[in-house]
């Protein structure tokens, strides 16, 4: 069965520091992978997605993620965090291109100190 693990429940970084949020998945075939962000009281916004091709994908707000099949990982990175990046981040895996359900990880809450 598909599953997604986000090992870090809560991460705190200083503004301007680099960031890496971890995501590991379990899926038998080629996964479709997503990162979403949820700001307090808001819905989910898509940051980036991976379906195939270049394993390093660029997203909005300066985020990027790298798909590593050998490690079953899809970690999210940002070189310099801004205070406005404080939010909940969810990694998700889909069985097909948007026509099937998404399996979400438990989320990582990011706190940014000035």
Partner 1 sequence: SAVISQKPSRDICQRGTSLTIQCQVDSQVTMMFWYRQQPGQSLTLIATANQGSEATYESGFVIDKFPISRPNLTFSTLTVSNMSPEDSSIYLCSVARGVGADTQYFGPGTRLTVL
**Minimum CB distance to partner 1 smaller for 12 or for 45:** 45
In the complex, least distance from residue 80 CB atom to partner 1, rounded to whole angstroms: 26
In the complex, least distance from residue 61 CB atom to partner 1, rounded to whole angstroms: 15
**Minimum CB distance to partner 1 smaller for 15 or for 22:** 22
- Please give the residue ranges that form the binding site for partner 1 (CB under 8 A): 32, 34, 36, 41-46, 49, 51, 90, 94, 97-99, 101-102, 104-107
Q: Which residues pair with 46 in a beta bridge?
A: 36
**Minimum CB distance to partner 1 smaller for 15 or for 27:** 27
CA distances from 78 to 20, 74, 89 (A): 7, 13, 13
Answer for the pair 101, 95: CB distance below 8 angstroms, yes or no: yes
Closest C-alpha to 90, from 35, 39, 41, 40: 35
CA distance 33 to 96: 10
**Minimum CB distance to partner 1 smaller for 51 or for 73:** 51
In the complex, least distance from residue 15 CB atom to partner 1, rounded to whole angstroms: 25
CA distance 73 to 81: 21
In the complex, least distance from residue 36 CB atom to partner 1, rounded to whole angstroms: 7
């Amino acid at each position: 069965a598909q599953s997604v693990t986000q090992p870090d429940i809560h991460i705190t970084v200083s503004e301007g520091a680099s960031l890496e949020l971890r995501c590991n998945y379990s899926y038998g075939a080629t996964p479709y992978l997503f990162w979403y962000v949820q700001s307090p009281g808001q819905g989910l916004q898509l940051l980036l997605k991976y379906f195939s091709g270049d394993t390093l994908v660029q997203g909005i707000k300066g985020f990027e993620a790298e798909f590593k099949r050998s490690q079953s990982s899809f970690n999210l990175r940002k070189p310099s965090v801004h205070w406005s990046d404080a939010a909940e981040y969810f990694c998700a895996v889909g069985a097909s291109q948007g026509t099937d359900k998404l399996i979400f990880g438990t989320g990582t809450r990011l706190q940014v100190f000035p």
